[in-house]
Amino acid sequence: MRELILYKAIVIDDNDSDKLGKVKIKVLPEMKDVKDEDLPWALPFLSLGMNSTTFTHIPPIKNTHIWIFFLDTYFQKPYYITGRIIEGLYKYDDNIKTPLSNITEIGSLTYPNPRAILLPDNSLLFYNTETKEKGIYNQNGTYFFINATGEIYIYSKDKLIKMYNDSGSFTLKASGQLDINGHLTIDP
């Protein structure tokens, strides 16, 4: 059986014309003299918790480092694996639990829940497989939270909130002033 070796690579191009999540990679120093147009495209290898019930589309960003391995001996069939776990930067308490504890409506924060995707700006997309809570937590403290019964909670610190549908809208301004359909204004 062939030994799998992990190589560190840099993403040269993330614009996959096939739209399969592939990225063009350069393994350094092994490919330092290879022209960019001759470099291989790497496919994702079940990265970021992908399984039969979960799909993610988060190809690595151009000019970032990733870990890859090859299924052939000619460096032509690479697969990439990504994530802060591999890079030694991930810690559940620091990266997931601490920021999400700022959401007052959230239920359990007991590992391994909630599951989350940490975005490059340290914002989180999260889902709890036990409580069915889900949402988005922005790195500045703003969040959008949906509980198991479908109730929606939005917190935006001192930022504007605007909600609308085909029949009307309301805007909650940072000052606390509420504007309904652009016709009625209610001061706090």
- Nearest 5°: CA angle at 167, between 163 and 168? 40
Tens digits of per-residue pLDDT, 112-128? 889 888 887 889 999 99
Whether pTM > 0.75 for this model: the answer is: no
1 Cβ contact partners less than 8 Å away, ≥ 6 residues apart: none
Nearest to 116 by CA among 83, 151, 158: 83
In 14-162, where does DSSP find H-type helix?
84-87, 92, 98-100
Whether the Cβ atoms of residue 68 and residue 11 lie closer than 8 Å to each other: no
| Residue 97: strand, helix, or coil | helix
Tens digits of per-residue pLDDT, 7-27? 999 999 999 998 888 999 999
Residue 144 has pLDDT above 90, yes or no: yes
Tens digits of per-residue pLDDT, 146-173? 999 999 999 998 888 888 888 888 888 8
Quick one: pLDDT band at residue 30, thresholds 50, 70, 90?
very high
Whether the Cβ atoms of residue 120 and residue 109 lie closer than 8 Å to each other: no
pLDDT of residue 91: 76
Q: Which of 46-55, 61-70, 113-122, 133-142 has the lowest mean pLDDT?
A: 46-55
Q: Which domains does the chain have, with CATH numbers?
A: 7-86 (2.40.50.260), 91-155 (no CATH), 159-188 (no CATH)
